[in-house]
Structure 1
Amino acid sequence: MNSGRYNRQNILKGFGPSAQQQLTNAKVLVIGAGGLGIPVLTYLNAMGIGTLGIVEQDSVSESNLHRQVIYTESDIGRPKIEAIQEKLMAQNSQTKFVSYDTFLVKENALKIIADYDLVVDASDNFPTRYLVNDACVILNKPFVYGALHGFEGQISVFNYMGGPTYRCLFPEMPKADEVPNCNEHGVLGILPGIIGNLQALETIKVIANIGEVLSGKLLIFSALEQSYQKIKFKVNTKNLLITELLNTYEWQDPCEVVPSISANKIQKLITAKAQIIDLRTNEEYSDFHLAESVHIPLNVIEANLQKIDFSVPVYLLCQSGKRSEMALKKLQKKYPMTSLYSISGGLNQYLATCS
C-alpha cells in the first residue's frame, strides 16, 4: 500500500490506515461501465480498492459522451471495457483489474460474482438487477444499487448483513413495456455522476465498516429540487431463501430473430413512400416525427389496426427499437403472412447518422 498516495485518507479520523488496508484487500465487481459505472470505478480506483472487476460488452457511441465522461471522441467505436481499463490503469497502476468482455447473464453470473466481496450494480435494466440480486443472495454477497428515472436517482444497499434484498423492495420484475429507459426518455448528463458517486460512497462504507450503510433504506435524489429523502423498508425473509437462479431474467429470448432493418435505411423508406408506423407516445411524437409516418402509440396499437395496411410491408418505428420489437411480436400473431419489420436503433440511430 502506497501510504503517500492515500495520506489524506490515512490521517482522517474515523478512517485511517486500518480502513485503507481494508480497501486494499477488497475485491469489488462493477456491473456496467456506463453513466453510473464510470464514477463508481473512477473513485474506487482512486481511493485504493485493490481489485476491480468490470463487466461490460458495449462499445462507446457519440450519444454516451454527455454523461459517460471518462470517454472521449477518439474512443467512439471502441469497446468500453478496453477504453475504460486503459484510462483507469493510467489513473492508478497499483490496482488489479479483471475485465469481463460480456454481459452478465444467468449462465455466467454466479461464476463471476463468486470471486468478489461486493457487487456494484451500475446496469440500466431490470433483468440485470434481478439477476444480480438473486446471485448475490445465493452467494451471500452485498450489492450496491443505483438507478435513474427522469430527473431522479435512487441508491440502496441490498443483502447486507442479513438485511433486505432488492426483491424486498421490488418483489416482481415489471414487463418491458411498463418501464421507461434513458434511450427513450432521456437522462440529464450530470445525474449519473451524482448517483454513481453515492454508490461509490456506500461501497467504501461497507468495505471499511464506517458510517451508516443504506441497508433497509432507499435514498431518492431529486436533481430539480436538489433534495434527498429516505424510504425505509423491511426484510421479507422468504427473499433470503433463493437457492438457484430463475429462467426469468430476459425480457425476450436472446436467440429469437426479430425481422428488422437498420435505421440508416429510413431515408430510403421515406423516398419509397413505405408504410412507417410511429409507436411513440403523443409527447414524443409532438417533439419530433417523420412527416411520412403514421402515429399509433404502442399502448393502443391493437385498438387501431384499421389504420395499418397489412397487404404491404409494415415498418415499425420508435425511439430506440425496443417498442418496435414488442409491437412486431404482437402483430405477427395476428398477421403471420404480413411483412413486418422493426427499425433497429429507432429514431435515436437515425438522427445520429443524419447529424
Structure 2
Amino acid sequence: MVSNVSGSSSRILQEEIDKLKAEKSSIEDRISALQAQLNEEKDKDKDSSTCCFPSSLSINASSCFQHALSPDMIYRYSRHLLLPSFGIEAQSKLLKSSILVVGAGGLGSPALLYLAASGVGRLGIVDHDVVELNNLHRQIIHAEAYIGQSKVTSAAAACRAINSTVQIVEYKEALRVSNALEIVSKYDIVIDATDNAPSRYMVNDCCVVLGKPLISGAAVGLEGQLTVYNHDGGPCYRCLFPTPPPTSACQRCSDSGVLGVVPGVIGCLQALEAIKVASSVGESLSGRMLLFDALSARIRIVKIRGRSFHCEACGENAAFKQPMFQKFDYEKFTQSPFASTPLKLNLLSESDRISSKDYKARVTNGEPHVLVDVRPAHHFKIVALPKSLNIPLSTLKDKLPAISSALKEEEVTDSSSGSSASLYVICRRGNDSQRAVHYLHQMGFTSARDILGGLESWASDVDPNFPTY
C-alpha cells in the first residue's frame, strides 16, 4: 500500500510540473508579443528620423538623433548647424517658418534667393510685373530668358532651382486691400520689397492688423535703409510717418536711378533680419534703423522713435481694424499711385504743346527754332537730340539770357524767312518740360511750346532706334 501511494503522489507532482511549464511557455509567448508591439510603437514615434550610420553597423537607428532633420538636411545646412549661436534649434524653427516677400525686384531678388537657400519652410512671392531688360542690373533673380514673362514665375523658378525642398507659393497679382489680409494671414513674417508710398503704408497696416512682423527696406541712388516694424514692442511704419511725405520727396529708381548692388545689399540684410526673427536668434533691428551709404562705404545704425500711443495703426485707440483697412484709399492718402508707371502731368493747354511727330515735320521743313532740353546734365550726356541746348530745369531762371541769345542767333542765321524763331522744350517724359514752358510763359517767352511725351515719345513715335533709359 505504501508503494502504491508513493507512485500516485509522483504522478500528481509530475502533472503539476507539466502544467506549470505549459503556463510558463504561454506567458513567454505573450511577453514576446507584447515586446514586439512595444517596439513597433517606438518605431512609429521615430518614423521621421533615419539612422545616420550604415545599416551594416550594429547601432540602434532610434538613438541616432532626436530632431526632424533628415541626413540630407543635415548635410545641406551643415554650416548653419556648426554655428553655436544657430545650430539645430534655429534651423528647425526656420524649416517650420513661412515668409512672404512683397515685390520680386531689386530688394526682393536677393532676399528670395537667400531665404530659399537657407531653408525657409514656405516662401510666398507677390508681384504683378514682368521682367524687363533694364531690371537685370539689380534684380539678380531674373535671367534674360525670362524677359517679358512674370517676375513671380522667374523668381519661383530660381528659388526652386537653388532649393527644391522649399515650398514656393506664387501670387501673380498686385497686393491690394482686397486681397492683402487673405494672403498675409498665411505667413509668419512679411518682407516689404516694394518701391512706392501707398504700398508701404498698406503692407504696414495689414501687418499691424494681423500681428505680423514686417521687415522693411528701401534703396535708391547710392543709399539704402532697413528696419523691422511691428515686432518685439517696436513701432510700426505709421508711428514714424503718420503723414505721408510730399510726392516730390518720393523717389523711384526709374526716375532717380540706382546702383544695382545697393538694393542687393539691403535685400540681403532683409533676408538676414527675417531669418533672425523666424529662428529667434540674435537682436533684430526693431526700434533701430540701418542706414547704408554706398559711396562712402559707411553703415550707421540709429535709434528710431518708439511705438506711438497715438498711432492710428498700432496705438492705444487705433482705428485700423479689418473693416477700415479694406475701405482705406491708400493712393488718395499718399497722393501717389501703386503702379510704377511714370508720372504724367497736364499743366498746359493743347495750344502750348506739340507732338514729337509734329516737331519732326517742322525740323524737316527747315523751321528756324531753338530746342531746349531741360534734363539734368548727366541725363543729357546719355542721349540727346541733335542741336538741342541743355539747360537743366534747376538752372532755367539763370539761363534766360542764353535762351534769348540763341533765339536771336537763329533768327539772324535764317533772316531770309522773315519770321521769328520758334522755341521748343523737351525732357525725358514730358513733365519737367511742361514746368519749364509754364515758367517761360511767365517770363515773357510766350511762344514756348512743350513736346508731348518728351524723348520717350520721340523714341516710340519717330525714331525706334533712339535709345531709352
Q: How do 1:33-112 and structure 2 match up within 5 A?
A: 33-112=104-183
> What displacement does 1:146 show?
0.8
> What displacement does 1:51 show?
0.6
Map of 1:270 onto structure 2: 360
- Counterpart of 1:74, as a letter, is A
Question: Are 1:233 and 2:289 an aligned pair?
Answer: no
TM-score normalised according to structure 1 size: 0.79
SS at match of 2:179: helix
Map of 1:24 onto structure 2: 95
Any stretches of 5+ residues in structure 1 without a counterpart?
302-306, 308-313, 332-337
Within the candidate set 290, 296, 303, 2:385 is matched to 290
Map of 1:7 onto structure 2: 78
Task: Please say which of residues 213-222 and 162-171 is displaced more in the overlay.
Answer: 162-171
Structure with the largest fraction of helix: 2
Task: Please say which of residues 127-136 and 42-51 is displaced more in the overlay.
Answer: 127-136
> What displacement does 1:11 show?
2.5
Question: Are 1:174 and 2:240 an aligned pair?
Answer: no
Distance 1:106 1:269 in 2: 44
Q: How do 1:172-321 and structure 2 match up within 5 A?
A: 172-235=243-306, 236-239=308-311, 240=314, 241-243=318-320, 244-245=324-325, 246-249=328-331, 251-252=336-337, 270-271=360-361, 273=363, 280-281=375-376, 284-285=379-380, 288-291=383-386, 317-318=427-428, 321=429
Q: 1:225 to 1:132 in 2, by over 3 A?
A: same
Distance 2:180 2:459 in 1: 31
Q: 1:213 to 1:276 in 2, by over 3 A?
A: farther
Contact 2:195 2:218 in 1 (8 A): yes
Within the candidate set 139, 162, 167, 2:233 is matched to 162
Report sequence identity in percent.
37
Task: Please say which of residues 35-44 and 234-243 is displaced more in the overlay.
Answer: 234-243
The count of residues paired between Structure 1 and Structure 2 equals 339
TM-score normalised according to structure 2 size: 0.62
Distance 1:253 1:38 in 2: 20
Distance 2:78 2:359 in 1: 62
CA deviations on 1:300-320 (whole Å, 9 max, x unpaired) are: 99xxxxx9xxxxxx99743xx
Distance 1:205 1:287 in 2: 43
> What displacement does 1:129 show?
1.0
- Counterpart of 1:270, as a letter, is K
> What displacement does 1:252 show?
4.2
Map of 1:124 onto structure 2: 195
> What displacement does 1:156 show?
0.5
Q: 1:170 to 1:93 in 2, by over 3 A?
A: same
CA deviations on 1:244-293 (whole Å, 9 max, x unpaired) are: 33313361497xx9799xxxx95785355599886644664566543477
SS at match of 2:270: helix
SS at match of 1:103: coil
Q: 1:214 to 1:4 in 2, by over 3 A?
A: same
- Counterpart of 2:309, as a letter, is T
Q: 1:207 to 1:150 in 2, by over 3 A?
A: same
Structure with the largest fraction of strand: 1
Contact 2:215 2:227 in 1 (8 A): yes
Contact 2:216 2:228 in 1 (8 A): yes
- Counterpart of 1:251, as a letter, is S
> What displacement does 1:299 show?
8.1
* Cα RMSD (Å): 4.1
SS at match of 2:76: coil
Distance 1:77 1:166 in 2: 33
Q: 1:284 to 1:221 in 2, by over 3 A?
A: same
Contact 1:276 1:317 in 2 (8 A): no
Distance 2:389 2:260 in 1: 32
Contact 1:324 1:342 in 2 (8 A): no
Any stretches of 5+ residues in structure 2 without a counterpart?
1-68, 347-354, 365-369, 397-402, 404-423, 440-448
Contact 2:197 2:250 in 1 (8 A): no
CA deviations on 1:6-32 (whole Å, 9 max, x unpaired) are: 122122211111111111111110011
Task: Please say which of residues 167-176 and 188-197 is displaced more in the overlay.
Answer: 167-176
Map of 1:335 onto structure 2: none
